[in-house]
Amino acid sequence: VTPEEIKICSDSAQGAFYALQTLKQLLSENAEKVRCQQITDAPDMKYRGFYQDVTRGKIPTLETLKSLADTMAFYKMNSLQLYVEHVFEFREYEFCREQLGYLTKEEIRELDRYCKTKFIDLVPSVSLFGHLYHLLSNEKYRHLSELPDYQPTRHYWLERMQHHTINPTLEESFSVIKSLIDQYLEVSTSEYFNICCDETFDLGTGANAGKDKGKLYFDFVKKIITYLHEKGKTVMMWGDIILQHPEYIDQLPEGVIFLNWGYDQNPDEEQYKKVAESGREQILCPGTSSWNAFTEHVDVEEGNISALAAYGHKYHAAGILNTNWGDWGNIASLSMAMYGMVLGAALAWSKETTADSAFRAEASQLLFGNRDTVAILKELSAIRYAADWEKVVDGHSDRIVSAEDYEKAFTLCRDCLEKVKELSFREELVKREAISAIEGYEMMLSLCAKANGLTVSGKTSIPAWLEEYKTLWLIRNKPSELDELIRVIEKWL
């Protein structure tokens, strides 16, 4: 940038595109002037991804997903994955499409095309071993389950997180998995395919009780990988089960990329070191900690994302895939998880990034048009222990919260709400979503206190809040499981 001109030089269109994002960020601080300077820039990590759960409760519209791609491009991210169980136009899931919602083949094709214009690779991510709850609960496919006679006892949002593993010894099981792969490949142009294969909790506990769980797992996974290799795809998969059975890791075909996840505030380094020492390529996967809540847990995500990024740089990982899960109904709006996405993008681009108050203010300005929203979200982290969504969903929880602690949480909610109302936002819709999230916490605290036999209550009208929440949901998302979320809350009224 000189007094006479602004000049961009790059050896590729993609590099020039990222330089334009830098310029847009500079102009966002002052739309008329940019300080004279010279910036030489390149990413520290080649893979800079975001992972959005579109399965558990909330299915974004195509326009919302395109908007997410726009936001990712602004922060120079280059890979998007959508977590898919039943929410695609699979023949096998036709029985639950209308009840739970789904994305059409044409919507995925259009999103794939759109992402390409932003230099983003839309990578398929489909559950192909565990997390097949709705498929295996259907009478037509129940016999393929590791637990074919299992009877649910809790709300299905919790059940589908726990009991969902297919029986890998049946040839029919593999036929179903191949069918899911083939149908999704019809709409994907990526060279990658994430087969998931995580959290196979039931494996070896039912139909295959007494058998070697490691062998059961790896024999089936190898068949899936081989099938995709024959299709010319590079396979990604979650690394949790691999780490439980390291003796089998050498038996997997070469070229598989392990998605090594962990969501603790202070994650142990050992699991990332182990994969690096095995010689296998890995991508480290932190999280926004927005699940089971109305906003991201800033205290947890800052520690988690920063630590995994540091481990990734240390052990020469291919990059970061920052996850935004939607366990138990996906109650948070997408806008209330974007700070974690920005932090992950920044750390993947530059290992010198530090998640401090200055970074929060700058990120807040870029995201929201004010410098304070992220700091308020950080304040709200303090009430997460009392705002217990599990207790609201089905009344079961081990948390014990005193009346005094509920009062403190209510006070914090009210203080944060007043701060947000006074702020100017770039988008009025995002301000409404922030207000709804804080009022949602107040509602949740009221219901949790009631479940604990306490009479503490907030000022928010729950019926009025539900109407606004429903309106906001339908602006950005398909109906999907909104009615179930409303039913969960209304049962307490």
User: What would the pLDDT profile of 146-189 be if each residue is shown by its tens digit?
Assistant: 999 999 999 999 999 999 999 999 999 999 999 999 999 999 99
Beta strands in 328-487 (DSSP E): none
Q: What is the pLDDT of residue 173?
A: 98
pLDDT at 30 over 90: no
CA–CA dist 77, 54 (Å, integer) = 19
Beta strands in 86-143 (DSSP E): 121-123
Nearest to 50 by CA among 15, 84, 88, 77: 77
pLDDT at 459 over 90: no
Contact 161, 393 (CB under 8 A): no
Q: What is the pLDDT of residue 400?
A: 84
> Percentage of residues in the chain with pLDDT exceeding 70?
100
Q: What is the pLDDT of residue 15?
A: 97
Residue 234 Rama label (left phi>0; alpha psi -120 to 50; beta):
beta
pLDDT at 10 over 70: yes
Nearest to 124 by CA among 54, 48, 70, 217: 54
Nearest to 87 by CA among 79, 73, 72, 99: 99
Q: How many CB atoms lie within 10 A of CB 5?
A: 6
- How does pLDDT run across 118-149, given as a tens digit for each residue? 999 999 999 999 999 999 999 999 999 999 99
- How does pLDDT run across 275-323, given as a tens digit for each residue? 999 999 999 999 999 999 999 999 999 999 999 999 999 999 999 999 9
For the chain, helix (H) and strand (E) counts, in that order, are 19, 8
CA–CA dist 128, 171 (Å, integer) = 14
Least confident among 125-134, 250-259, 451-460: 451-460
pLDDT at 85 over 80: yes
Reported confidence tier of residue 450, pLDDT bands at 50, 70, 90 = confident
DSSP assignment letter at 336? G
Instruction: Show the CA angle centred on residue 453, arms to residues 450 and 459, nearest 5°.
Output: 35
> Percentage of residues in the chain with pLDDT exceeding 90?
93
Residue range 450-474: mean pLDDT, rounded: 89
Nearest to 52 by CA among 368, 265, 291: 291
pLDDT at 334 over 90: yes
Nearest to 197 by CA among 109, 139, 247, 261: 261
Question: What is the residue-averaged pLDDT of the chain?
Answer: 96
Residues with Cβ within 8 Å of 234's Cβ and at least 6 positions away in sequence, in order, are: 191, 192, 193, 255, 257
Q: What is the pLDDT of residue 457?
A: 65
CA–CA dist 258, 468 (Å, integer) = 41
CA–CA dist 201, 133 (Å, integer) = 12
pLDDT at 481 over 80: yes
Q: What is the pLDDT of residue 147?
A: 97
Copy the structure tokens of residue 352.
């010198």
Q: What is the pLDDT of residue 70?
A: 98
DSSP assignment letter at 142? G
